[in-house]
Amino acid sequence: MKNVGFHTCRFSVKQPSPGTGIRVIYTPGPVAAGMKTELQVELYAMTIGLEESAEGEVYISHHIHIKTETEIFYLPVLANILLKWL
């Protein structure tokens, strides 16, 4: 995320529930004007309750809530997981 404003700002990320298999890794704290910080999204394909389609793949769709001092962003996370049986 990049701070395009003129002032230092803070943000927080609402972590998705563990059952989604999604985790956001970031360093909390202020972001100076003109600077950026990195968000990493981890996806665990071994989540509970996913239904396999006829083609042998699973589709995941979720929104990550990012709250700043003035706005709320919804970062979409979409994935097709191809199942491979050994």
Buried b / exposed e over 49-81, threshold 16 CB at 10 Å, is eeeeeeeeebebebebebeeeeeeeeeeeeeeb
Structure confidence at residue 50 as a pLDDT band (50, 70, 90):
low
Buried b / exposed e over 21-32, threshold 16 CB at 10 Å, is bbebeeeeeebe
Question: What global pTM score does this model have?
Answer: 0.74
Summarize pLDDT for 9-46 with one digit per residue, the tens. Answer: 999 999 988 888 889 999 988 999 999 999 999 988 66
pLDDT in the model for residue 49: 57
Q: Has residue 73 got a pLDDT over 80?
A: yes
